[in-house]
């Protein structure tokens, strides 16, 4: 009896996946739970474990892309290789599902995948699958890399640093002067976007083109919030990191979403889908991309718990170890550019959500209070809304509750 292994859905937004590396060979005996194949999605790469036992026949070689649900391998439960005996995998003759330059597609179909590390080597070196693949592709010996991940595990960022350290210095050259007949812009260098960047570009364009955005702005007096954060610093006996001001924004928005369920919903096919859980996505910049891990059930977490989860997820994004489940299920998103000195900005709504909150810097500015000009720590917020879901008054009340929660941080307990 032969069963199929299909391209799995590894995230709620996944449409197709790339076979990065088979961790088993054609004709191998596999058991339930064995690490089978490394797959790259639109958000991250992860190792897929087999849910079948038997003899493996690989149908799709490394480097090719397949949509969700399409067979990528079979497993024969009678102990015999489905094709009679183990044979090398030949690339498919049809064109791969992804688009791209013809030359790149030809390379993807003909280049053999790099050999996977042995189990003994993986145990000895302790390296993530993504970092191991990058090291093999770049010819870097992971034995000479110091890992910064949990328990000294080597992650992608460690391999990137090793490559940067080994790269020769770029010589300084004079600025070229355009010669007669050259384009006014000079030489043009084409930089291909990776899969994540392409997906972000496509989805941002789709969001702006299909979602009717409107924006509301508000200025928040964060003076009390700053004082509360200082009080957290003076309580070393408590467990967990000191909450940041952004952690307070996450909690303030999560509590406000309880009372404004339309802001925690999505427009789909002429109806609203209201979500019972409040899962806050936090935008994290990493490797020329914007990744949004999700803090689940943020309205039920204390501030220190939000701080702990936020730091854990951000670190996993930066080291390349974040997994699709950690990027899935978001119902509302917060993006913060305050650390870059940005006072205010407007954001693009994340697909499948009703709104996104853009957070600016907290700065010492003048504020008129009770007829007097006084110094205050002020922060600007911009709420982008889907006009099919939220109307002006609804959105204004939601934003006002976020501001009230932040101006009296005792409400965030």
150 pLDDT exceeds 80? no
- The answer to whether residue 237 is domain-embedded is yes
Domain co-membership, 240 together with 310: yes
Residue-level pLDDT at 102: 38
- Predicted confidence (pLDDT) per residue in 331-346, tens digit: 999 999 999 999 999 9
Domain co-membership, 235 together with 368: yes
- For residues 129 and 121, the answer to whether their CB atoms sit within 8 Å is no
DSSP annotation of 154:
B
What is the pLDDT averaged over residues 270-275? 95
What's the pLDDT band for 97 if we cut at 50, 70, 90?
very low
Domain co-membership, 336 together with 399: yes
Beta-bridge mates of residue 222: none
Q: How would you class 40 by CB atoms within 10 Å of its CB: exposed for 0-12, middle for 13-18, buried for 19 or more?
A: buried
- For residues 114 and 21, the answer to whether their CB atoms sit within 8 Å is yes
Name the residue with higher pLDDT: 46 or 279. Answer: 279
Residue-level pLDDT at 5: 92
CATH number at residue 121: 4.10.320.10
What is the pLDDT averaged over residues 7-34? 85
105 pLDDT exceeds 60? no
Last residue of a domain, one of 104, 131, 150: 104
CATH number at residue 44: 2.40.50.100
Domain co-membership, 236 together with 348: yes
Angle at alpha carbon of residue 226, lines to 223 and 232, rounded to 5°: 145
- For residues 246 and 406, the answer to whether their CB atoms sit within 8 Å is no
Beta-bridge mates of residue 374: 367
Residue-level pLDDT at 93: 41
Domain co-membership, 154 together with 81: no
- Predicted confidence (pLDDT) per residue in 237-253, tens digit: 667 789 999 999 999 99
How many Cα atoms are found within 13 Å in the side-chain-facing hemisphere of 342?
A: 15
Domain co-membership, 99 together with 135: no
- The answer to whether residue 190 is domain-embedded is no
Residue-level pLDDT at 331: 97
Q: Using the Cα atoms of residue 52, residue 56, residue 60 and residue 65 in order, give the sign of their dihedral.
A: positive
- The answer to whether residue 192 is domain-embedded is no
Residue carrying the six token digits 């803090």: 295
How many domains would you assign to the chain? 3
- The answer to whether residue 9 is domain-embedded is yes
Six-digit token string for 94: 């049809």
**Biggest alpha carbon–alpha carbon distance for the chain:** 88
Domain co-membership, 98 together with 46: yes
Does this model's pTM top 0.75? no
Tell me the residue range of the domain where 134 lies: 117-163
Domain co-membership, 99 together with 145: no
Return the SS3 of 130: helix
Domain co-membership, 1 together with 130: no
106 pLDDT exceeds 90? no
- CA pair distance 213, 354, nearest whole angstrom: 10
Catalytic, out of 213, 259, 350, 387:
387
- CA pair distance 218, 173, nearest whole angstrom: 48
Domain co-membership, 70 together with 137: no
- The answer to whether residue 387 is catalytic is yes
- The answer to whether residue 182 is domain-embedded is no
107 pLDDT exceeds 60? no
- The answer to whether residue 191 is domain-embedded is no
366 pLDDT exceeds 70? yes
Domain co-membership, 58 together with 149: no
- The answer to whether residue 137 is domain-embedded is yes
CATH number at residue 394: 3.30.559.10
Contacts of 333 (CB under 8 A, 6+ apart): 280, 281, 282, 283, 292, 347, 349, 350, 353, 356, 357
214 pLDDT exceeds 90? yes
Domain co-membership, 1 together with 128: no
84 pLDDT exceeds 80? no
- The answer to whether residue 202 is domain-embedded is no
How many Cα atoms are found within 13 Å in the side-chain-facing hemisphere of 259?
A: 14
């Amino acid at each position: 009896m032969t069963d199929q292994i299909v391209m799995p859905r590894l995230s709620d937004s996944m449409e197709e996946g790339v076979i990065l590396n088979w961790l088993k060979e054609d004709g191998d005996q596999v058991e339930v739970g064995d690490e089978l194949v490394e797959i790259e999605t639109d958000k991250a790469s992860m190792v897929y474990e087999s849910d079948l036992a038997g003899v493996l026949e690989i149908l799709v070689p490394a480097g090719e892309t397949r949509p969700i649900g399409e067979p990528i391998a079979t497993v024969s439960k009678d102990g015999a290789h489905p094709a009679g005996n183990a044979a090398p995998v030949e690339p498919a003759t049809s064109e791969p599902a992804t688009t791209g330059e013809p030359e790149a597609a030809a390379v993807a179909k003909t280049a053999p995948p790099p050999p996977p590390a042995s189990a003994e080597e993986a145990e000895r070196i302790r390296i993530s699958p993504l970092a191991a693949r990058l090291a093999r592709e770049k010819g870097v010996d992971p034995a000479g890399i110091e890992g910064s991940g949990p328990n000294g595990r080597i992650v992608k960022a460690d391999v990137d640093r090793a490559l940067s350290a080994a790269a020769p210095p770029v010589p300084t050259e004079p600025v070229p002067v355009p010669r007669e007949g050259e384009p006014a812009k000079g030489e043009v260098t084409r930089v291909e976007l990776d899969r994540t960047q392409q997906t972000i570009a496509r989805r941002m364009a789709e969001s702006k083109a299909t979602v009717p955005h409107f924006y509301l702005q508000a200025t928040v007096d964060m003076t009390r919030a700053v004082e509360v954060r200082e009080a957290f610093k003076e309580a070393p006996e408590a467990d967990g990191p000191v909450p940041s001001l952004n952690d307070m924004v996450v909690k303030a928005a999560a509590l406000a979403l309880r009372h404004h369920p339309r802001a925690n919903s999505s427009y789909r096919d002429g109806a609203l889908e209201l979500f019972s859980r409040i899962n806050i996505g936090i935008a994290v910049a990493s490797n020329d991309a914007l990744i949004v891990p999700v803090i689940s059930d943020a309205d039920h977490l204390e501030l220190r718990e939000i701080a702990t989860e936020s730091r854990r997820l951000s670190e996993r994004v930066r080291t390349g170890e974040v997994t699709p489940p950690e990027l899935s299920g978001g119902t509302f998103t917060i993006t913060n550019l305050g650390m870059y000195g940005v006072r205010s900005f407007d954001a693009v709504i994340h697909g499948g959500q009703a709104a996104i909150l853009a957070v600016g810097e907290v700065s010492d500015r003048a504020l008129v209070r009770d007829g007097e000009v006084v110094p205050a720590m002020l922060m600007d917020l911009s709420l982008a809304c889907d006009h099919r879901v939220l109307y002006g008054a609804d959105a204004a009340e939601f934003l006002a509750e976020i501001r009230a929660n932040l101006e009296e941080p005792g409400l965030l307990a």
